[in-house]
A and B are shown apart, each in its own frame.
Chain A
């Protein structure tokens, strides 16, 4: 990142990939005292930066991976971290208690920037076979296999229900119609709609478990 003193902002290796949540806790977290943390970062306190990285790196990684795929993920997380820290140091964060809101804004801008860049690159490089940068959104083979299995199970679920129920789920998942729209057009109550969705999901889970159990039997049989 141009303009950033990356040496001063380097992240200690032991902090990379650490969970934001305390281990063994299901409690929802709002993070540490953000105001104090912001003050520590402003004061060039290395532990403050480490703490910030520890708290949000997993969440930022998750957000960026979900939106942009796994390519260059670590670089993107690192860039985001640098932007946040630099902005905090420059005093651009007016409400320190809203640090996570600021982080979210930065991440969203990063995503928008990457998408813009990808669109621009694609437009510029249409027809040029050599030197084209293609973002690889594909997961590894294991994930691809899992995705295929999920699709097969979903296919079974959709095949096992009535035509009308299938149409409802198709409208929701494929055509992305809203619940309200579907209920109005298919003459359904919200409860009926929710029930159908949850039953399909339960069946999906059940079939998935069965398949997993069968595989275990084959593996150990």
Chain B
């Protein structure tokens, strides 16, 4: 038994048609199977007699076996990746079909109507509550002789400054606003700043007569200021 094989021990496969009916196994110039025929073989699209010739060649040629392995691996990878991408496309299409199927012209009309109503409601709310958008009206309320009752517009934020001249000094004062029948509209506590106690009414007041009352920490009424909302 020989340990080594020499090139002379083998006969070489020729190029071109080798089988009776003229079918050609596409061998490249170096006598190996062409990439094209190996690819056709890998895809199972090679017919006889070229198939027989190629398979016989593959039984002997390790170089073509290796090349076929590479082609097989490449085909498997492309097939698998293409299937994955097709699957992704398919699910995207399904989702779009579902969405577009649900969005018929009539349904779309309903949706548009609802959106219009929602926008209208929002606009109405903004219109009815201008306080959030309009600047506050600052009023200084005094009770000194000769001072007049102050007037302010309705539904506008108010910044009331209550004059505390002549009152006992406390670190904090309680302030409340009541309407003409004594119903409390707002309450807060505030410290004196620049001789005044400030109170904010962000929602404003409805038209009518009001009173701002100033209390000591022990809730003793110290002073009452008149206010007319027009």
Binding site for B on A (CB under 8 A): 12, 14-15, 19-23, 25-33, 47, 50-51, 54-56, 58-60, 62-63, 66, 100-101, 103-104, 107-108, 146-147, 150-155, 157-159, 166, 169-170, 173-174, 176, 178, 200-201, 204
- When distances are taken between beta carbons in the complex, the residues of chain B under 8 Å from A50 are 1
Contact B59 A32 (CB under 8 A): no
Nearest Cβ distance between residue A46 and chain B, in whole angstroms?
8
Known: A150-B77, A154-B81, A174-B79. A63 touches B55 (CB 8 A): yes
Which of these, A20, A104, A147, A157, contacts B52 with CB under 8 Å? A104
Contact B81 A158 (CB under 8 A): yes
Contact B59 A33 (CB under 8 A): no
Residue B223 CB within 8 A of the other chain:
no
Alpha-carbon separation in the docked complex, A19 to B101 (Å): 63
Known: A147-B76, A150-B73, A201-B74. A32 touches B10 (CB 8 A): yes
Which of these, A47, A108, A146, A170, contacts B82 with CB under 8 Å? A170
Alpha-carbon separation in the docked complex, A152 to B86 (Å): 15
Nearest Cβ distance between residue A177 and chain B, in whole angstroms?
10
* Residue of A with least CB distance to B73: A150
- When distances are taken between beta carbons in the complex, the residues of chain A under 8 Å from B115 are none
Contact A151 B58 (CB under 8 A): no
* Residue of A with least CB distance to B61: A28
B interface residues, tally (CB under 8 Å):
45
Q: List 15 A-B contacts (CB under 8 A).
A: A26-B30, A26-B63, A27-B12, A28-B12, A28-B30, A28-B31, A31-B10, A47-B1, A54-B5, A56-B60, A59-B59, A101-B52, A104-B59, A147-B73, A201-B74
Which of these, B7, B10, B57, B85, contacts A158 with CB under 8 Å? B85
Return the CB mask of B60-79 against A: 1 if under 8 Å, else 0: 11111100100011111111
Which of these, B55, B60, B74, B80, contacts A30 with CB under 8 Å? B60
- When distances are taken between beta carbons in the complex, the residues of chain A under 8 Å from B80 are 151, 154
Contact B62 A58 (CB under 8 A): yes
Nearest Cβ distance between residue A130 and chain B, in whole angstroms?
33
Which of these, A22, A59, A173, A178, contacts B79 with CB under 8 Å? A173
Alpha-carbon separation in the docked complex, A151 to B58 (Å): 26
Contact A147 B60 (CB under 8 A): no
- When distances are taken between beta carbons in the complex, the residues of chain B under 8 Å from A154 are 74, 77-78, 80-82
- When distances are taken between beta carbons in the complex, the residues of chain A under 8 Å from B220 are none
Alpha-carbon separation in the docked complex, A22 to B68 (Å): 19
Binding site for A on B (CB under 8 A): 1, 4-7, 9-13, 27, 30-32, 43-45, 52, 55-65, 68, 72-86
* Residue of A with least CB distance to B83: A174
Contact B56 A104 (CB under 8 A): yes
- When distances are taken between beta carbons in the complex, the residues of chain A under 8 Å from B32 are 26, 28
Alpha-carbon separation in the docked complex, A23 to B32 (Å): 16
- When distances are taken between beta carbons in the complex, the residues of chain A under 8 Å from B64 are 28
- When distances are taken between beta carbons in the complex, the residues of chain B under 8 Å from A63 are 55, 58-59
Alpha-carbon separation in the docked complex, A26 to B33 (Å): 12
Known: A30-B12, A159-B85, A169-B82. A147 touches B77 (CB 8 A): yes
- When distances are taken between beta carbons in the complex, the residues of chain A under 8 Å from B52 are 101, 104
Alpha-carbon separation in the docked complex, A26 to B30 (Å): 9
- When distances are taken between beta carbons in the complex, the residues of chain A under 8 Å from B44 are 176
Known: A25-B7, A170-B82, A174-B83. A150 touches B59 (CB 8 A): no
Contact A22 B60 (CB under 8 A): no
Q: Which of A54, A100, A159 counts the most B-chain CB atoms under 10 A from its CB?
A: A100
- When distances are taken between beta carbons in the complex, the residues of chain A under 8 Å from B58 are 59, 62-63
Nearest Cβ distance between residue B57 and chain A, in whole angstroms?
7
Nearest Cβ distance between residue B81 and chain A, in whole angstroms?
4
Known: A154-B78, A170-B82. A29 touches B43 (CB 8 A): no
* Residue of A with least CB distance to B59: A59
* Residue of B with least CB distance to A22: B5
Which of these, A12, A58, A107, contacts B65 with CB under 8 Å? A58
Alpha-carbon separation in the docked complex, A147 to B72 (Å): 11
Nearest Cβ distance between residue B41 and chain A, in whole angstroms?
10
Contact B62 A21 (CB under 8 A): yes
